[in-house]
Structure 1
Amino acid sequence: MKILVTGIAGFIGFHVAKKLLEQGFEVFGFDNINDYYDVNLKYARLQELGLERNSIATNQQVQSSSYPKLRFAKLSLEDRSVMEDLFRTEQFDLVCHLAAQAGVRYSLENPHSYAESNLIGFLNILEGCRHNKVKHLTYASSSSVYGLNEKMPLSATNSVDHPVSLYAATKKANELMAHSYSHLYGMPTTGLRFFTVYGPWGRPDMSPILFASAIASGNPIKVFNHGKMMRDFTYIDDIVEGILQVLVAPATSNADWDALNPSTASSKAPYRIYNIGNATPIELMYFIETIEKAMGKEAAKEYLPMQAGDVLKTFADVSELEQQFDYHPTTSVEEGVQLFADWFKKYYKA
């Protein structure tokens, strides 16, 4: 099968593409390599996939030197005509859509980039899948959609009507848009709500690299809400395993779906929503202590109040994913943080 992976230069997209290639799939990846964070890290991920920086140019395909079944192009989701041409020419079997404008806090400062990438860009993906008979669209949602909902653990059947950031609102909008296409055109779609993913090659705007960088440089780390926050930290390999299981199993309709008591995680249409996380929330301070141990140095700390757009706790109910796919994360936070720290020290020469 030929699989499209969008956002292939991103943290999760890079790992998903690598695993698919190792399993023998044909992969086409694209990314716009924007400067939301360090583009050198994005190019370094691509280099790990056999894609040299000096060979990459906008709207030009590149063949990997390491993986014969990988091709890459620097493209933008928002470019409707480019997306139409790509889907029509390539005729993908499956689409794993991981490209998006990420970041909760950044959405407070740059709201229009979220509308362009996460709404218009997602519509272009939906249209490409619809008109070219893609067998299954799997796409990234986020645990941030739960917003003010504090009913723990967070279930995919819980209300997600009160997001607290524009980023979260766009992710909920993606789920609604996907359902409309599943309903209207019988197009199988599955949304995955990721819970605080971390590991090697992670994003530098997320807490693990922010903490590790501060520890390595001797600067204080910023501890929001005085560390009284819980996060369902999930190691990247466990996330990738779940994505691949879902990707190759197109969503089906729920024959028991009741319109008078509707579940938000399924439908009469071939539409599914799953949480994908570790199902074991960790207090932020313990996570910091684990990073300190792995880095071999204690961090200075600057305690700050809660940030706008943040939530106090995330805790994934992954029972639906367990029942449907026998999904069971296996990486402890101690093991995962050590693997992350080993990569960090090597990559950043810390």
Structure 2
Amino acid sequence: MVDNKKTDFIREVKVVTQLGGRQMGDDEFKYEEILTRFTESEINAYKQWVSQGFGRVCNKKMTKELNLEWITRHYLSLKMIISASVMITSLEYNIKKGVNISVPYLSYYAILSCCRAIVFTLPSQKWGKNLIEMKHTKILNTVGDCVRKLNIAYGGEILSILSRYRNYRELFSYKFPGSGIDLVSDFGHRFEYDDTVKLCKILCEIAQLNSEQVERYIEKHCLSNIDEWGNCGGKYILKCCIYKNVEQNDTKTDLYMIDEEDECALKYIMEHHSFPVSLYCNLPEWKIRDLFAVWESEEVSYNQDQDIYHPSRKRNVIFQFPCK
């Protein structure tokens, strides 16, 4: 005979552990850019669209495979935001140092990484190799279509902006004009650092909003049998930290490497989360700091010289990472 009270208690403990009390405290993501860009009704309609999209995928029947897929997708999305943040801090540093050759590349790929963060969190995009290795044109068009769900006019505008950034990067990757990056200014196009940061913030907030709706859908509709699908163990999610070695070898056998930082982050997620949470709640502050630290010079640890590249100090430049 099943002890319903005991089952309910165990489920409640799991959920409380999952949420970590954050809903009862003040530790929540604070939106900025989308609140000024879109109306409340537009945001609410968009949230409903994302929730309905995940509902079509899940249909209130969460499975272990679907759970692991979305935990993985949210982690990959968060990594794209970290990637973009490192590129933006590198962009600022290189602009100050006058390393202009890097400006088009870092500007575009920071934005592309933010776009990929959105794509990973869209229920309309099916999981698989085509999602992970999506071509640039498809990524930009998908994000343009996504933003149209918020506001049709701005969706078209943002796709045009994204395309200009891509052309900006390709101009210097393939043709390399002798006038340098000043050439684009002569044609009336400017790619200012502040504008790039603002665009990245908008994209990151949309990715966060998407992930938040997935989490809330699961909380509302799927927790009654979390003990059946909430076990995050297994090899599925660990694919995130396995990378193919590009070095050629005589045996022509593919070689793979396991990334220790990814593995550590994923183990934390598997130990602390029973189901997908929003990007903001995925990893604690100390782990986010570690993921930024790998891009810093070893001199940073003992040298406080402001002239040394130190992305950890400005890790919140485009996204509000957790503070604890």
> Could you tell me the TM-score, scaled by structure 2's length?
0.27
Structure with higher helix content: 2
> Could you tell me the TM-score, scaled by structure 1's length?
0.25
Larger-Rg structure: 2
Structure with higher strand content: 1
